[in-house]
Structures are given as structure tokens and as C-alpha cells.
Structure 1
Amino acid sequence: MPAQPAAHAPIPPEVRRQAAAWLVELQSDGAGEQTRLDWQAWRAAHPDHERAWQRIEALGTKLQALQPGLAHAALASAGSPGRRRVVQGLAVALFAGGLAWAAQDRVPWRQWVADRRTGVGERATITLPDGTRVDLNSDSAVDIAFTDTERVLRLAAGEILVATAPDSHTPVRPFFVQTAEGRLQPLGTRFSVRQVARGESAVAVYEGAVRVQPRQGSALVLNAGQQASFTTARVNQPGAADEADTAWVQGMIVAQDMPLGDFIAELARHHPGWLGCAPSVADLKVTGTYPVDDTMKVLDMLTRTLPVQVRLRTRFWASVEPRGEDE
């Protein structure tokens, strides 16, 4: 028998990866009795294996934060590059300790292992295998899963603008965009999808139509010129879509009487660090076209047109506040 490792000894990296792989495998639709028997045999094969699995079980309710990512991973083909990336990222999240869990809200592990991603202040354009064009906004991440039966783009974080292309595959495969809250099926269209916040996504349709299907609620079809947010339970009341909201593709924010608080929230998506707005000036109106590639220049422009000042505490901490007499 192998020697018993000390209880506090580090779990070998390969064992961590294997444990993460088993966690994904047990979530997949194909997991049956034989899978569970193989998993139990793996646990019994070495004390390190059992220690790794006990570490996972000890996480308890923390594992709930990983469920959306686990579901995405389980849908990927066994042995595929996408699943390997997820397993590697999951191994880091499971065994890196408290700091990794504390950072979940700021840098979700699903973003670390996404097929394509952009950093803060970066944008990218990709062309999918079927010719569909996808623009990624700042701090965004997507997974691409094309099979013989469907084309799926999974939004892990941020915002994308999608212009679908006809599928040359036979038979023609439906195209879907999947978020944490539900699934969107475009009907020959151009549309944007944004992960607004935890528990809410938003879609805006500029051409064609999009069928919005929350995970647990009734579906709704949005036509060109409509936008709506949705949760896992329902699609909220549709409103008017504004083409100006896609100006980020050209590296711009277009504002027309936009409340300063909302404007700063948009600009903060492109700013390397924390950027806030004091409530006392949040209702001031902003109008104009502003480049997002130089956020400090935009902030300087605001101080020239509005009664505000920018307070810098560090290079990565800025706040827009009322203009004071001590400037």
C-alpha cells in the first residue's frame, strides 16, 4: 500500500486536476452507475485521491457558486479543449484556498477558462466557424460550442454584439446564445447580449428577432427595435432598443442627456481600476460622444463641461465629485 500522506501535506496538482475532472463528469447527463463505481474506485486507489475529494465535499455550499460553470463544462464533449480548460480552472478554484473564493465576484473562474475573453479596456472581434460575427466588449468572455446538431455561444461575462450568418451545415443547426439566466435563439438577426448583474441578463435586437427563453419561465420573442432584461424566472417588460448603445464597438460612448451616474457606470467598464460617482452629482446630464480607450481623458472632459472634479486617491481609484472651492 502507498504510504499515508500527512493530513496537511499539499495535494499533488495532478490529483487536484483529476478530482476536478470527476466533479465535472458526475454532473454530466451520461453519468450513470458505472461512472459512480469508477469514481469510487478512483477515491479508494490512493489516500491523496480521498483527501482531494474530502476537500471538495468540505466546501459545502460554496460549490453552489460554481454550478453554472459546472453545467457548461458537463455539456462540453469529454476530452475536448473546452472541457480541459474548465477542469484546469476548476482545479484552481477548488484548491487555491480562501483568497480564490474571495475573488469569485471580481474574477469568476468561468472567465479564466473561457474560449475567448477580453480584459478591462480591451475589445475584440471574432468570426465563428459558420461565419457569424461576434464583437466582445471590455471585460467579456464567451465559450463556443458547435456540434452536429446546434451552434451555441455561451456568455460567461460582459457583453457581446452578434451578427448571425446562415448555416451551411446539413441539416441546418439552430443558433443559441446562452447566459446564466436562459437561452436566446436569434432568427436571422443582429443583437446584443449583456450579463447585467448576478441574476440578470439583457438583450437588445437591432435586426430580425430573438426568442428569449428564461431557464424557468415563459419565452418571449423580441423584434427589431426592442430590448428587455430577463432573469431565470421571467422576461421583463420590453422597451425600445437604441442603436447608440452599440457605439462601444467603435470605442465610443454616445450619451444624450444621460445621468452622470449612469455614464460613469458605463465608463467604469473600460477603466483600469475603481471608478465611482458621488450621489450628489449623479443626476447631472451628459451629452456627447466620448472615446473609451482613454478614460482619464474623458474624465478631464467632464470637468470642463460640468461642475465636477475628479478625485484620485491612487492610480486605480477615482471618484467624480462636486467641484469644490479647494481645487
Structure 2
Amino acid sequence: MDGAVKFAPPNVAPEVAHRAVEWWLDLSSGSVTPSQRAAFDAWRAAHADHERAWQHIQAVSGRFQSIGDSAAANAARSALTLPARDTRRSRRAGIKALAVLLFAGGATWSARHRSAWPGWTSDLHTATGEVRTVTLADGTTLTLDTASAVDVRFTQDERRVVLRSGAIMVATGHRDGLAPRPFVVQTAQGTATPIGTRFSVRQAQDATRLAVFEGAVRVVPDAAPSAAQMLRAGERAQFTTNAVLQREPVASDAAAWTKGILVASNMRLGDFLDELSRYREGLLRCDPRVASLRLSGTYLLADTDLVLETLTRAMPLRVDYLTRYWVTVGPART
């Protein structure tokens, strides 16, 4: 067994589940009147299925809160505060999505999910959409990209930064005495040792992406030390546990994220939205019918909703919100 905690959803009609979700949203708003409270109590007492549905929501939503997973709570707040341009139909769709989450998708939570996101226990981490710069004891500057996490392991022999997830920009410091210790960035695929440099490291699913802006970086794949290579300023490459892959020039805008900017230069819309999705919570989908459209421009990551709105002004697109946390970009209606 993997330590799963299971909440078997009750066998109730969809309309009962939807009404239970509506009550949950209303009660979570903090502005319930005595008459609404009385109506809620009457609804619970009217049928056994109503009470069973309510108890299930309490159990599932309580588990979300206890593990720090705010997806359901965020979705609830979003459904309660839909923008004025959204219709009652949109609210109904949001409630339906929450019912699916609470009565199906949220029915099982595994204890292993607690450790799935390494930021919970790492020395330094950022939330989704957050970019933060910190200075280490030796004067090294680390800029952490969205949803990134690192451990800092400085010993008497070396200065090691372990990239657990996301991406970092490193500007190595020089306040480490007369005999500076080696500085090493470790990823899931290997190590990167800089020589007086500024470089970025991004942990992808099966590879590490590295770009050198100043100086040089020695890359050593974990399973093939003999395949080590030196990357110099203006070069970038990916490396796996076995090899350093083909080198390419570093794009002029490769460090734009450190300033909260996403730059697109004749970029596929599907790829652009994949990158944008890293800076917002929830699910951002691209309809395959528009994924191959191309765009160029500079976009501020601080307001991803505004970025999506800007796309609809510049391209034949529409953005459909099933609450703020379920978003699809598709072709404009004709």
C-alpha cells in the first residue's frame, strides 16, 4: 500500500452533488445570513443523500486544507468571484467542475503527494508565478524562477546548490576567502561547475538545460563523467545523465524571465502557452486548432490574465474560463 487516504464518493444524484457544492461556496464566502443558514440546515435535513453529500465535501475539502493543497479552495473562490463579463452559465460550469473535483477527482489522496513537490522542504523555493532573488553567504546571487526549489549545501570543501525543480540564474560570488571553495550546481542529470560566471540552469523532466552568459561552465553528466564538456559565454546546451547534447547560441532574451518578462519571437502559440502556464496556477490549455499560430512580443508575467486578454486582441482567439483555474485558448467564434 502507498499510504493512500481514500474518500469513497457517495452514490448521490448529480444535482445533489452540485447543490452541496453551491452550499459549500456560499458558506465559504463568510457572508451567510441567518435565513441562508436556516435554509442550509433545512436542505441537509430534507434527505439522507443531502447529508451524505455534505459530509463527503467536508471530508475531502478538509483533507485538501490539511495538506496545504489549495486547488479546491482557489477554485471555490474563483467561482464566487467570476468577472462581470462572465455569465450565470459560467458559474454553473464552475460549480460542475468543482463537483467533479470533490466527488471524483478529489476522492483519493495519496500520502506520497506530500513529497511530490520538493519546494515544501527545500531551503529556498518560490510559489507559482513568483520570481525571487537571494544572496548567499559567499556573495553568490541566485534568482529563482516560478515554482522553483533549491537546497544550499555549503561545507568546508565546496559550495553546492542542488536544483530540485524549476530554474535558477546564478551569478557566482567572490566573498569566499583567499582559497575559494569550488562552486557546484547539482541537478538530476549531473553537475555544472562555473568559472567566475553567470549562467542559468533549468530542470526539465528528462534533461537539464544550461545557458552561459558570462565566463564558462564545466558540465559533467552523472553516468558518464568522461563526456564532460566546457560551455563558454554565449553557448547553451541540454545534458542528460549520459551526454551533453548539441550546443546552440544563447538567445538574446534568454534571461528575460529574471525581470518578469516572457519574450516570444515567431513562437508557436502552443509553446508560448506552455511557458506561460508555468507562471499561473491551474490548467491552461491550447486548442490544437490554434496551436501552430505564430506570435511575437514582450509580455509581463505578473498578470497572466492580461497576457491572455492581449492575445485575443492581436489574434483570432478566444479565452474560455471554467473558473480562473481551468482555462482554454481556442479559435475566435465567427
With structure 1 as the length reference, what TM-score do the two structures score? 0.66
Distance 1:119 1:286, change over 3 A: same
Q: 2:323 aligns with which of 294, 311, 314?
A: 314
Q: Distance in 2 between matches of 1:136 and 1:184?
A: 17
Alignment of 1:252-291 (within 5 A): 252-291=261-300
Match of 1:186 in 2: 194
Q: Using CA pairs under 8 Å that are at least 6 residues apart, name the structure with larger relative contact order, 1 or 2.
A: 2
Q: Distance in 2 between matches of 1:100 and 1:308?
A: 40
Partner SS for 1:245: coil
Match of 2:306 in 1: 297
Q: Distance in 1 between matches of 2:159 and 2:177?
A: 11
Q: Could you report, residue by residue, the CA deviation over 1:207-239 in whole angstroms, capped at 9, with x for unpaired residues?
A: 111111110121111111111111111111111
Q: Distance in 2 between matches of 1:180 and 1:168?
A: 26
Match of 1:215 in 2: 222
1:245 touches 1:253 (CA, 8 Å); kept in 2?
no
Partner SS for 2:289: helix
**Is residue 2:183 matched to residue 1:175?**
yes
1:206 touches 1:243 (CA, 8 Å); kept in 2?
no
Q: CA deviation at 1:322?
A: 1.3
Q: CA deviation at 1:314?
A: 2.3
Match of 1:233 in 2: 242
Count of residue correspondences? 225
**Which protein shows a greater Rg?**
2
Amino acid paired to 2:198: R
Match of 1:78 in 2: none
- Segments of 5+ residues of structure 2 without an aligned counterpart are 1-107
Amino acid paired to 1:134: L
1:135 touches 1:161 (CA, 8 Å); kept in 2?
yes
- Segments of 5+ residues of structure 1 without an aligned counterpart are 1-96
Q: 2:162 aligns with which of 154, 157, 170?
A: 154
Q: Distance in 2 between matches of 1:278 and 1:235?
A: 34
Match of 1:124 in 2: 132
Partner SS for 1:204: strand
Q: Distance in 2 between matches of 1:109 and 1:295?
A: 23
Q: Percent identity?
A: 45
1:154 touches 1:179 (CA, 8 Å); kept in 2?
yes
